[in-house]
Structure 1
Amino acid sequence: MVGSDPPGHGSGRALPHVHRHGPASPHPAQAASWSILRMTVTARLSAAVAVSTGLWAIVWLAMR
């Protein structure tokens, strides 16, 4: 169905639909510039503490 509208999308114009993998395979992975999964446990805990502190600061200011 290359170059045609998908069923139910009758816009009247042909849209190219190009895939670079087979129809049965999933999309290939994209390079991530940052991932929490690549952080060390210490860095994750530090980030969690920082976010938690920031959120508690917002709550404290709102209650004030």
Structure 2
Amino acid sequence: MAPSDPHHHGHDHAHTHAHSHGPASPHPAQVAPWSILRMTVVSRVGAALAVSAGLWAIVWLAMR
């Protein structure tokens, strides 16, 4: 893709970005709206059991 291409989205064009970090540093971490790591152990076990039951239901239906 040539730099003069209007659809080129590289960082070699003239307009500026509202980034708050330097071009060589990675993007800062974003706040996650939901994380399994913030769930209680009981919630994690419950979620794992629900997912497992759903997968077993799929297997059971496929074998019928």
TM-score (norm 2): 0.69
Unaligned 5+ segments in structure 1 are 1-7
Percent of aligned pairs with the same residue? 65
Q: Show the counterpart of 1:46.
A: 46
Cα distance, 1:9 vs structure 2: 4.5
Q: Is the deviation greater in 12-21 or in 43-52?
A: 12-21
**Separation (CA, whole Å) in 1 of partners of 2:36 and 2:56:** 22
Alignment RMSD (CA, Å): 2.2
Residue 32 of structure 1 corresponds to which residue in structure 2?
Answer: 32
Higher relative contact order (CA 8 A, sep 6+): 1
Give me the TM-score of the superposition, normalised by structure 1.
Answer: 0.69
CA 1:24–1:54: 2 relative to 1, 3 Å: same
The CA deviation string for residues 8-40 of structure 1, in whole angstroms up to 9 with x for no partner, is 543157463522112343211112111111111
- In structure 2, distance between residues paired with 1:17 and 1:9: 19
**How many pairs does the alignment contain?**
57
- What is residue 10 of structure 2 aligned with on the other side? none
